[in-house]
Copies of this chain bind each other. A is one copy, B any other.
Amino acid sequence: MCELLGMSASVPTDICFSFAGLMRRGGDTGPHEDGWGIAFYEGKGYRAFHDPGASADSEIARFVQSYSIKSNNVLCHIRKANRGKVSLENTHPFARELWGQTWSFAHNGQLKGVKKLTLKHYNPVGTTDSEHAFCWLLGELREHFPRPPGRQRALWQFIQEKTETLSELGIFNMLMSDGRSLYTHCSTKLSWLTRQAPFGNAQLIDADMTVDFADHTQANDVVTVIATQPLTSNEQWQAMDEGEFSVFQQGQRVWPRQNKNNSAGK
């Protein structure tokens, strides 16, 4: 199984600390040695770094960790290949443009028979189930909404329906972003945590590394981190339920609107 990491933040924020923990799982504290990738949104701009090698040994990973890119939305994925060979084109996150926005997608799990879903508009470059699922989802979106819907809620509901269709095919833990929102779907394993004032210390599980967020934040900052498994040992992560679909914007969970877990991890 692969590992996912996402971030949604109210102000451009670097993900160096969480990234440092995750990267150790790519061939060091974890078995996910078949490539990794990370995507950053900066305003409407998008940039991604991909490496088909193990993240624990990756020069690009070391560079990304030391070069603090500040972003409102981040998606990261480290891969343990199950379908599709180890290669650059099979390395998540995948990206496509819809409505003049760059959409990106990372997935863990397996989707039996996903390649029978008919594609419209978007075609995979690689051979993974994941990229096929993403191309299908985005094609459905484009077909249903030739232009971006005026009501965000309509968009979220449509995406939720499609993620439910995909999750019926197997395991579908997903992160997706259009640069404005971060969408998540949990089939089996996804946890999240919102950091906001008063900020405190955090201790990584996978590396001997501690940070005091009070030294790196302003009083109004809100940052949510989403990961396959909790990355820190001394913070209260909230496990998502099976079938749970969420939307994050500016560091806050904005969908589902009223949820008993909505204030968890704060």
Q: Footprint of B on A, CB under 8 Å?
A: 42-50, 52, 59-60, 63, 67, 87-91, 96-97, 99-102, 121-126
- Contact check: which of B42, B60, B88, B123 meets A88 at CB < 8 Å? B42
The complex is assembled from copies of this chain, and their number is 2
Given A45-B87, A89-B44, decide whether A97 and B123 contact each other with a Cβ distance below 8 A.
Answer: yes
Q: Which residues of B contact A42 (CB under 8 A)?
A: 88
Q: Which residues of B contact A121 (CB under 8 A)?
A: 121
Given A97-B122, A122-B97, A123-B97, decide whether A45 and B91 contact each other with a Cβ distance below 8 A.
Answer: yes
Q: Which residue of B lies closest to A59 (CB)?
A: B67
Provide the main secondary structure of the chain A interface.
mixed
Contact: B89 with A46, CB < 8 Å?
Answer: yes
Given A60-B67, A67-B60, A96-B97, decide whether A125 and B88 contact each other with a Cβ distance below 8 A.
Answer: no
Contact: A46 with B100, CB < 8 Å?
Answer: no
A sample of 24 cross-chain residue pairs with beta-carbon separation below 8 angstroms, ordered by A number, consists of: A42-B88, A43-B87, A43-B88, A44-B125, A44-B126, A45-B52, A45-B87, A45-B90, A45-B91, A45-B125, A45-B126, A46-B89, A46-B125, A47-B49, A47-B50, A48-B48, A49-B49, A60-B67, A63-B67, A97-B122, A97-B123, A97-B125, A100-B124, A101-B125
- Contact check: which of B89, B100, B126 meets A123 at CB < 8 Å? B100
In the bound complex, what is the Cα–Cα distance between A84 and B126 (angstroms)? Answer: 33
Q: Which residues of B contact A46 (CB under 8 A)?
A: 88-89, 125
